[in-house]
Amino acid sequence: MTKKLFIKTYGCQMNVYDSERMAEALGAEGYVTTEVAEEADMVLLNTCHIREKAAEKLYSDLGRLKPLKVERPDLKIGVAGCVAQAEGEEILRRMPLVDLVVGPQSYHRLPAMAKRAEAGEKSVDTDFPEEDKFDHLPDRPKAAVRPTAFLTVQEGCDKFCAFCVVPYTRGAEISRPAERVLAEAQGLVGKGVREITLLGQNVNAYHGAGADGDWSLARLVRELARIDGLDRIRYTTSHPNDMTDDLIAAHGEEPKLMPYLHLPVQSGSDRILKAMARKHRAEDYLRLVEKIRAARPDIVLSGDFIVGFPGETEADFAATLDLIRAVNYGMAYSFKYSARPGTPAAERTPVPTDVADARLQTVQALLTEQQRATQAAMVGREVSVLFEKPGRLQGQMVGKSDYLHAVHAKTDATPGTIARVRITGSAPNSLAGEIA
């Protein structure tokens, strides 16, 4: 008998990957995924804790599931992800409708927890177990649905930036053995995947066990590049301090490594960087950017910025704007600082909300302008596009360029085709082109 599973995913790409793997694990228990919560036998909320009122949001989303559960008491409700890790038992106490709570390191135990839920027994698992969850998750399924895939190679973080919950919710930094990563990649390519994005909270700190000692991310990328049929490799997210020379060199030497790099710096003020415990100065970052551009001059850089960090003055904020102007980002994310319980910065005096709001608007306007200019500069150029799916208009396909821009073009190419495309126009979040 098939049972239906509805998963709602919040937050980062790591969660998207985890949701897929959880769906596969529950697939072995007879669950098939559905897009419709109303017809599900199990609803799983895969939560994110990085910013804003994550716990409150979870509780209000759970509240909205109440009528469903009243109507069908057999419905099982699970909470996964970083809020599950942070809140644990508290979720069951506040929300009796929840059947299971599972932290990110325990997903391989989910099938057993689902069985217990079906038998009417509640469970909570927020351990950081000895065994590696990836060794205990089933192989990925036969048919790839898309020509692009995420592949988690590293999890957790030891950096302890003063604002960030990741070291607490995802735990200590661990790298998956290189053999496993290569085998998983090979499997994906066998199913038609042509582009793989390697994931990790600190992906460039990767140091997985290889045949001859620990492998760096650069080594892993170079080995992955030897897989026939794998045409594109990306990785995210990186810390400036782990951007090693061999990885930078790979950007110049390995054509399959795509010319796009997400390299968050958070602030352009040395005072604030110090308060954030980032362990680098603005100048270090700018020199690093120079080095990367020397290796790969056309690389598109993206980043993350936090405004309104405790103690941030107008001069500190101006330094952030200066750094953004100096780098010129292809696109970047900016966030208003949000105090996360349990992190060092949460104890400090906050910047007034209206000041932080105004700074966020200013920084977003600058970043939007840089994004617009980067996209406009693509017009007239020829790029390669990996087509993924039909576009909005009849006869149109949409895919990503090497630079990660979404590109629409009129073509009868099938998903998974890589074609040269001449860019003819730029819209706020995508480019238009024609087959070259």
Q: Is 338 in a helix, a strand, or coil?
A: coil
- Residue 228 has phi, psi (to 5 degrees) of -65, 135
From the list 156-164, 192-200, 216-224, 286-294, the region that binds ligand SF4 by CB under 6 A is 156-164
Q: What angle do CA 155, 37, 393 make, to 5 degrees?
A: 85
Q: d(Cα 48, Cα 84) in Å, to the nearest integer?
A: 9
Which residue's CB comes closest to ligand 5AD?
A: 304
Q: d(Cα 94, Cα 117) in Å, to the nearest integer?
A: 18
| Residue 409 makes contact with ligand 5AD by CB under 6 A | no
* Among residues 304, 362, 422, 425, the one that binds ligand 5AD under rule CB under 6 A: 304
CB contact at 8 A, 254 and 174: no
| Residue 21 makes contact with ligand SF4 by CB under 6 A | no
| Residue 202 makes contact with ligand SF4 by CB under 6 A | yes
CB closer to ligand SF4 out of 4 and 159: 159
In angstroms, what is the minimal distance from the CB of 240 to ligand SF4? Answer: 9
Q: d(Cα 312, Cα 276) in Å, to the nearest integer?
A: 11
In angstroms, what is the minimal distance from the CB of 52 to ligand SF4? Answer: 15
| Residue 16 makes contact with ligand 5AD by CB under 6 A | no
CB contact at 8 A, 426 and 379: yes
CB closer to ligand SF4 out of 160 and 333: 160
| Residue 400 makes contact with ligand SF4 by CB under 6 A | no
* Among residues 44, 86, 164, 397, the one that binds ligand 5AD under rule CB under 6 A: 164
Segment (H or E) for 365: helix 353-376
| Residue 329 makes contact with ligand 5AD by CB under 6 A | no
Q: Return the closest-CA partner of residue 10 out of 68, 75, 84.
A: 84
User: Binders of ligand 5AD among 255-294, rule CB under 6 A?
Assistant: 264, 266
* Among residues 40, 101, 166, 327, the one that binds ligand SF4 under rule CB under 6 A: 166
Record the tokens describing residue 415, joined without a space: 């998903």
Q: From the list ligand SF4, ligand 5AD, none, which binds 202 (C-beta under 5 to 8 Å, kind-based)?
A: ligand SF4
CB closer to ligand 5AD out of 9 and 384: 9
Query: Residue 287 corresponds to which amino acid?
Result: R
| Residue 157 makes contact with ligand SF4 by CB under 6 A | yes
Q: From the list ligand 5AD, ligand SF4, none, which binds 109 (C-beta under 5 to 8 Å, kind-based)?
A: none
Tokens 């039909």 belong to which residue? 390
CB closer to ligand SF4 out of 201 and 338: 201
Record the tokens describing residue 294, joined without a space: 């020397």
Q: How far does CA 40 lie from the centroid of its chain?
A: 26
